[in-house]
Amino acid sequence: MKSQSYSALVTGGAGARGIGLGISTALAQAGYDLAIIGARPENLVVDTLTALRQAGVAVTYAQCDIADRNAREKALEKLWQELGPINFLVNNAGIAPRVRADILDATEESFVEVMRTNLQGPYFLTQSFARRLLAARQSNPELAGAIVNISSISATTASVSRGEYCLSKAGVSMATRLWAARLGEYNIPVYEIQPGIIQTDMTAAVTEKYDRLIQDGLCLQARWGLPEDIGRAVLMLLRGDLAYSTGQVIMIDGGMNIPRL
């Protein structure tokens, strides 16, 4: 599925240094037009958008709080009109708790904020996107489509200093299976990628901790993961390399979650 005629919507795809940018860069370099949703005003991501366009693809952007239903629908309408029917959705945008707090002390306010952004927003964006894609197929039955959810090893690995984050990612895992089950009859595969320890702004505050853990053997591959590692995995899925597969989890974690004695 690699062609200028294909397009992908990437949430959080214009960050300064993160998984979303790694995904956007990989797709742009492979010839995919991009529709990007981000939390920052467009004037603050102009340089990033310009760099992506240098790959020779169309890139359009909409500022949006993914947790806000009205903003989400407005952004999707704008991007759909500017780019035409969009083939692929990559649900990447997410946040960590503002304060890492032991689950004995964590607040409901933090729980609600993280769940709305990491789970509720992507879940209903997927609903709206799927409805549009299916409607577009009424006039073009051969229109390709797929959805990729970026969750985390935290979907299954407990971290008691950010319980709300773990729960949100566990929810994304079930959402992947739900949408795979619902959209299977339309041949729209839905995948989940679980990144491990990835070098991004989100992990910058705990660099020293993870440097030490990686050195001590946390991962079988003794290095940080990089945003481009995730970008290559997303490209593989959208390209159709795993065409006879849906609802599956792709671990990009350097072997971190392999049980060892």
Mean pLDDT of 111-134: 98
pLDDT at position 236, please? 97
With cut-offs at 50, 70 and 90, classify the pLDDT of residue 160: very high
pLDDT tens readout for residues 80-118: 999 989 999 999 999 999 999 999 999 999 999 999 999
d(CA 181, CA 1): 22
**CATH number for the domain including 26?**
3.40.50.720
- Please indicate, yes or no, if residue 236 is contained in any of the structural domains: yes
Do the Cβ atoms of 165 and 159 come closer than 8 Å? yes
H-assigned helices in the chain: 19-29, 46-53, 69-83, 108-115, 121-136, 163-183, 207-215, 227-239
Cα 190 to the chain's mean position, in Å? 12
Q: What is the pTM of this model?
A: 0.95
Q: If you count them, how many residues does the chain have? A: 261
Domain interval for residue 99: 7-247
Considering its fold, how many domains does the chain have in total?
1
d(CA 179, CA 188): 9
- Please indicate, yes or no, if residue 179 is contained in any of the structural domains: yes
- Please indicate, yes or no, if residue 258 is contained in any of the structural domains: no
Of all residues in the chain, what percent carry a pLDDT higher than 90? 90
Range scoring the smallest mean pLDDT among 25-39, 197-211, 223-237: 197-211
Flag whether pLDDT at 4 surpasses 50: no
- Please indicate, yes or no, if residue 141 is contained in any of the structural domains: yes
Q: Any idea which residue has 């062609």 for tokens?
A: 3
H-assigned helices in 15-96: 19-29, 46-53, 69-83
- Please indicate, yes or no, if residue 254 is contained in any of the structural domains: no
- Please indicate, yes or no, if residue 81 is contained in any of the structural domains: yes
Give the closest residue to 157 by CA, choosing from 174, 176, 173, 170. 170
Q: Could you say which DSSP state residue 45 is in?
A: S
Mean pLDDT of 213-220: 92
| Mean per-residue pLDDT over the chain, rounded | 94
- Please indicate, yes or no, if residue 56 is contained in any of the structural domains: yes
- Please indicate, yes or no, if residue 35 is contained in any of the structural domains: yes
